[in-house]
Structure 1
Amino acid sequence: MANDGQKEKVGDDTPTENGKHIDLDVEEDNCNEETRNKNHGGKDVGQEGGIPKKSDRSEYYNEDDLQPLFSLQDMPILAAKKDVQKRGQKMIPAVPQHGETKEHSHRPSWEAERQRRWRLGVVGFGGMDFQVVVLAGGTSKELIPLVSKEVPKALLPVANRPVLSYVLELLEQSNLKDLIVVVEGEDAALRVGGWISSAYVDRLHVEVAAVPEDVGTAGALRAIGHHLTAHDILVVSGDLVCDVPPGAVAAAHRRHDAVVTAMLCSARVSGPSESGSAGGKDKAKKPGRYNIIGLDPTQQFLLFIAAGVEVEKDIRVQKSILRAVGQMEIRADLMDAHLYAFKRSVLQEILDQKETFQSLRQDVLPYLVRSQLRSELSLHGVQSEENGNDKVASQDNKVSLSQLLTNSSTPSFHELYAVGPNGSAPVPRKTHKCCVYIASKNKFCARLNSIQAFSDINRDVIGDASHLSGYSFSAHNNIIHPSAVLGSKTTVGPQCMLGEGSQMGDKCSVKRSVIGRHCRIGSNVKVVSSVIMNHVSIGDGCSIQGSVICSNVQLQDRVVLKDCQVGAGFVVSAGSEYKGESLARKEKCQPQ
C-alpha cells in the first residue's frame, strides 16, 4: 500500500465496455476522508477546483420536463412493459414469467454475454464489474400524506425536482449511466418510469423493475436476483441526496476485496431520522434513534452496527472480534447513507438462505458484520469441502504468517486472525471483510426518509447545499422564475424558491421556503420555513409556518397552519387554525 500522503488514480485508464472511462480519484491507502488530517490536493469525481462540476441542465430543468411528476397522460413506459425499449428506458419483469426458459440454460457467446451485461447495467470499476441498482421505494407510510398513488416517494419534490433526480445525476456524473431502478408497486413503477424516460432521454439507460409493495430493501433485491450478474453490486437508495462520489465506495470495496462496503456520513444536526418522524398528531417527543457503529482503529472495517430499536438495547460485541482487533471505536455521530457495495455471490447466497431477511440495514448488514470471523459464506461461489467434521483444505490454500506479512505491509485483523497466532492455524480460518467508507464532514449527505427530513432537505438544497440544486441563484440568494409575478411590497427572502407561473398578491412575505409551479397566493400571506408544491391556491391573510402543502391544495382566507402537513387536493376552510396536524382526504374504498 502507498503511504498516507500518496494518492493513486485508480481505474483512470480502464475503459468501460462502451469505451468511456469510469473516473475514480481516491486515496490508495485509506479511502475514508474523515481519517485524513489535511487535504492532499485531490479532487472528487465530477469536481473541478473543489467545486462540483455542473452539467448543462438547461434542458433537463425545463419545467415541461418535470410535468410528468403530476401529469402522466403520455405514458411511454406502457409500451416498455412489453420489453420494447423506448427513449432509453424500459420495464423488466421482477420475476421470471410463466413459461420462460431459464436465462442460463445455454452458455451464451461472449458477444451475446457482453450485450446482455450492457443491457442490465454492468459497468467496470477499475477492472471489477459493478452493476448499479437504485432502490426507489414506493408509497412510503412514513411520508403520508406527502406521498400518494399519484406521487410516489421517488417523485417527491426537492427544490422543485423529484428526489430521485439527485441520485440519478450523482451516478451520471460518475459515468454510471446504465442502471436498474427498483420501484415498489406497479402503478408507482409506471409513474417513475414515465418521468425517467421523459427527463433523461438520450442521457441514461434505465431498466425499471416493479416489485411487490412492502417487500423491504432486501426483498426488492431478492425479487430481481435473476437480473444480477456482475461480480459486485452497487446498491443506492433512491431517497439519497448527497455529493459523495460513489466511485470512492467502489474503490474501497475493491481494495479490500470486501463482501460489503457501506458508506457512512456525519449524522444530521436534527437527527438522522432513521425511523422517521411524523409531526401530525403524534406530539409526544420520542428519543432519537441513532446508529451505534463500531470501527477498527483504522476506521476502515465495520465491527458492530445497531440501528432503530436495537440502539435502545445493550451493546453486545463478539469476544472473538474484540480479541482479533484489540480495540474498537464506538461512534454515534454517523449515519448509514444506504449506499452499499456488495459481492454479488455473497449477497445472493444470504438472500436465498435467509428468506425472512427484509432489510439490508437491519438484517443483511448486521448478519455480515456478526459473522465476519466465523464466515460460512462461499466467498468465491464454491462451497468448501467437508468430510465429517473435518474441513479439507488443499496445500495451496494454506497461508503462513510470514507470507502474509510479506505480501502486505499492514494486514487486516481478518488476515491475522485467519492464520492464527504466529501462523499456528493448521487450516486458515474462513473470514470475510465488512468495510466502510466515511465521507468527509464537509460533504452533504441526507436521506428523505421522513417528513422532517423532507422539510430539512428542501431548505438545505436552496441554502447551504445550494450547489446540489442545479439552479443559478440571484444576487439576493434566491430563485424566482422569470414567469413568476410578485405583487406590490411582496418580498421573497434569501434561500427561497418561487416556481414557474406562480403569482403572489400584495404585501406577502416568504422566508426560507420553496413554492412550486402555478401557485396562486393572495395578499398579506406569510410563508416561513415551508414547502408548497404545485397548483396550490392560498387565500388572503393566511399564515403558513413549518408546514408542507401538497399539490392542488386550497387554503381559503385567513387559514393559520403551524407544523402541519396537508395532503394533495385537501381544502382547508376559511379561518381555520391548525398546529401539528396532518390533514388529508380519506381514501375512497374500491368496490369489490
Structure 2
Amino acid sequence: MTGSILGHNMGINCELVPVVMAAGKGSRMTELTAKRPKCLLPIGNLPMIYYPIALLERSGFHETLIVVQESSKTEISGALEKCGLKIKYDLVGIPGDEEWGTADSLRHLHETGKIATDVLVISSDLVTDLNLDPLIDLYRKKDASVCGLFAPAPASPIITTPGPKSKNKSERDLVGIDPDTSRLVLLASASDYETCLSLNGNLLKKYEKFSIYSKLLDAHVYIIRKWLCQYLGYNKDLSTLKGEVVPFVVKKQSKVNKPHTKVDDKASVIGADIKTELSHFAQEDELTLKVRQMSSFTDNRCNPVYSGDTVRCYADILKDSEFTIRANTLQQYCVANRMVLQHWSALTNGRELVNVSPLAVVSSTQLDSTSCIVAENAKISEKTSLKNSFLGAGVAVSPKSVVQDSVVMMNAKIGQGCKIYNCVICEDSTIEDNCELKDCIVGSQHTVVASSKHSNEVLTVIDRLMEF
C-alpha cells in the first residue's frame, strides 16, 4: 500500500462517519419483503446489505453506523455476523411504525449524539464495484457542503421481470452539473416536468454553462456537512434526503449572495422562517475565509473562488465502474442476482466464491456449479436440473425438477417433477409436485397446489396481498 493511499485511509475515519440506511420497508417490492427486511433479501448467497458495507471496507473505513428498524435489529445483527465483515458496525434502531425518510434518520442520529463529524450516507440497496476515493477527494478539494455520487445508467440485460406483465418505468432524474467545476446546480425528478423545464434566472446568471443529464443513476451516496445535520434538527419539515434536502440546498446555492450579520447563538433564529436561514448554519470560520482571500486559487475565470458561496454542492460521475446498480425495485433486484457472479470478486473484495456449500447435500449430476449457488443444508435430489439459480439455506428440491434463472429463498420446498423458470420463490414456501411456474413470484409461506400451471403471477396468501 502506498503512503498516499495509507494517509487517505487513515484520515478518512476522522473526517467522516458512514451511515448505511437499511430501514427501508421495500415498498417497491412488497411481494418479497412481507416476512423479512429489504436489506436482508439475498443477492447471490449474501444479504443485500453486505455489498454497501463491503464498499466501505475497500474505501478504507473501519467503523459505520447502520440505521435499521428497531424490530429488525436482532435479525439483521445475526445475518451480519455470518458475513465475516472486518468493519465495526453499530446498529441504530428507529421506530418501525412511522414512515421515516433519510433526513428523518439523520435528524435522529444528530439528536442522539451519534454524529460528531461530517457524514457519508449510503443506501443498503447499492451494489457496485466502485471505490469512494474520487468522491471523497472531490469533497475535500471543493470543501463541499453536499457531494453526491452518480453513475451512467447501467445497460441491464434484457430479462423478464417476474410477476404480472407491466411496463417497467424507471424513475429519471434531471441532473445539472457544471463541467468545469463539477458543481451540482440542478437536481429534480423528471416526472415533475411534463414537457418544459423552466430554469431560474439566478441559475442562468450564475452558471454560464452546465450540462443537464437525464440518464444518470443516483447512487444515493452523499457526503454532507455536520452543520446540515444540525440544520435538519431545526427544520423538521424536510423528511427525505434526495427528494427534499439536496434539491433544497442546491437551489439555495444558486441564489445571489447577500451579506448577512454573523449570529453566534443558533437559538436566536427560532421563531424565524428557518428555511431562509440555511446560510447561518453554513457560516465559515474567520481563519478559513482569510486564507481563501489570500490564496491565488480559483475555480472559475471571472468570479471569486467558489463564486463567493458558503453553500456549495458538487457531483461526481463514476467513470471506472463496471457494475453499479440500485436493487430498489423488483426488476433491478432480479438484474442484480442475474449478474452478481460475473462481478463477484470486485463486489466482494476478493471474497472466495463457494458455489456449493460443503454442508449441502447434492445428489444431482445436472447442477451447473458455475452459474448456481447452493447454500448450507440445501438438499438437491437426483435427476434435478439447476442452472443460473440461487438456492438458499435449507431449500429442498425433489427429483425430476428443473429450476432455471430463479431465486429460491431459505427453507422453500420444491416438489417432484416441477418446472421453475425465471421465478422468485420466497422463504418457507412450498411448490407441490408437477407444478409449472414461469415468470412468477411465490410469497413467503405460500403453498402452490400440485399440478398447477402459472405464468406472470404473484402467488401469495390473499390477506397478505391486500396488505401490499
Task: State TM-score, norm by structure 2.
Answer: 0.82
Deviation at residue 573 of structure 1 after TM alignment: 0.5
Task: Quote the Cα distance in structure 1 between the aligned partners of 2:317 and 2:190.
Answer: 20
Match of residue 369 from structure 1 = 250
For residues 211-360 of structure 1, the aligned pairs below 5 Å read: 211-212=95-96, 213-226=98-111, 227-270=113-156, 280-281=163-164, 283-298=165-180, 300-307=182-189, 309-310=191-192, 312=194, 314-350=196-232, 352-353=234-235, 355-360=236-241
Q: Give the alignment partner of residue 166 of structure 1, picking from 20, 30, 51.
A: 51
**Alpha carbons 2:364, 2:380 under 8 Å: kept:** no
Instruction: Decide whether aligned partners of structure 1 residues 195 and 505 sit closer, same or farther in structure 2, where only a CA change above 3 A counts.
Output: closer
Task: Quote the Cα distance in structure 2 between the aligned partners of 1:514 and 1:365.
Answer: 38
Match of residue 276 from structure 2 = none
Q: Give the alignment partner of residue 13 of structure 1, picking from 7, 25, 29.
A: 7
* Higher mean displacement: 256-265 or 160-169: 160-169
- Work out whether 1:554 is the aligned partner of 2:430: yes
Percent identical pairs in the alignment equals 26
Task: Quote the Cα distance in structure 1 between the aligned partners of 2:153 and 2:288.
Answer: 43
Match of residue 275 from structure 2 = none
Match of residue 22 from structure 1 = 10
Match of residue 66 from structure 2 = 181
Supply the AA of the counterpart residue of 1:362.
Answer: G
* Higher mean displacement: 464-473 or 492-501: 464-473
Deviation at residue 234 of structure 1 after TM alignment: 0.9
Match of residue 543 from structure 1 = 419
* Higher mean displacement: 438-447 or 555-564: 438-447
Supply the AA of the counterpart residue of 2:392.
Answer: G
Structure 2 residue runs without a partner (length 5+)? 270-278
Q: Secondary structure at 2:253's aligned position in 1?
A: coil
**Alpha carbons 1:499, 1:516 under 8 Å: kept:** yes
Instruction: Decide whether aligned partners of structure 1 residues 416 and 466 sit closer, same or farther in structure 2, where only a CA change above 3 A counts.
Output: closer
Deviation at residue 456 of structure 1 after TM alignment: 1.1
Tell me the C-alpha RMSD between the 2 structures. 3.6
**Alpha carbons 1:228, 1:344 under 8 Å: kept:** no
Deviation at residue 372 of structure 1 after TM alignment: 0.9
**Alpha carbons 2:298, 2:304 under 8 Å: kept:** no
For residues 182-197 of structure 1, the aligned pairs below 5 Å read: 182-184=67-69, 186-196=70-80
* Higher mean displacement: 210-219 or 549-558: 210-219
**Alpha carbons 2:19, 2:66 under 8 Å: kept:** yes
Q: Secondary structure at 1:575's aligned position in 2?
A: coil
**Alpha carbons 2:181, 2:299 under 8 Å: kept:** no
Task: Quote the Cα distance in structure 1 between the aligned partners of 2:66 and 2:258.
Answer: 31
Instruction: Decide whether aligned partners of structure 1 residues 377 and 183 sit closer, same or farther in structure 2, where only a CA change above 3 A counts.
Output: farther
Q: Give the alignment partner of residue 315 of structure 2, picking from 420, 428, 436.
A: 436
Residue correspondences, number = 441
- Work out whether 1:407 is the aligned partner of 2:290: no
* Higher mean displacement: 163-172 or 571-580: 163-172
Task: Quote the Cα distance in structure 2 between the aligned partners of 1:232 and 1:378.
Answer: 25
Instruction: Decide whether aligned partners of structure 1 residues 563 and 196 sit closer, same or farther in structure 2, where only a CA change above 3 A counts.
Output: same
Choose between structure 1 and 2: higher helix proportion.
Answer: 2
**Alpha carbons 1:292, 1:311 under 8 Å: kept:** no
Structure 1 residue runs without a partner (length 5+)? 1-7, 15-20, 25-122, 272-276, 419-428
Task: State TM-score, norm by structure 1.
Answer: 0.66
- Work out whether 1:506 is the aligned partner of 2:395: no
Instruction: Decide whether aligned partners of structure 1 residues 466 and 580 sit closer, same or farther in structure 2, where only a CA change above 3 A counts.
Output: farther
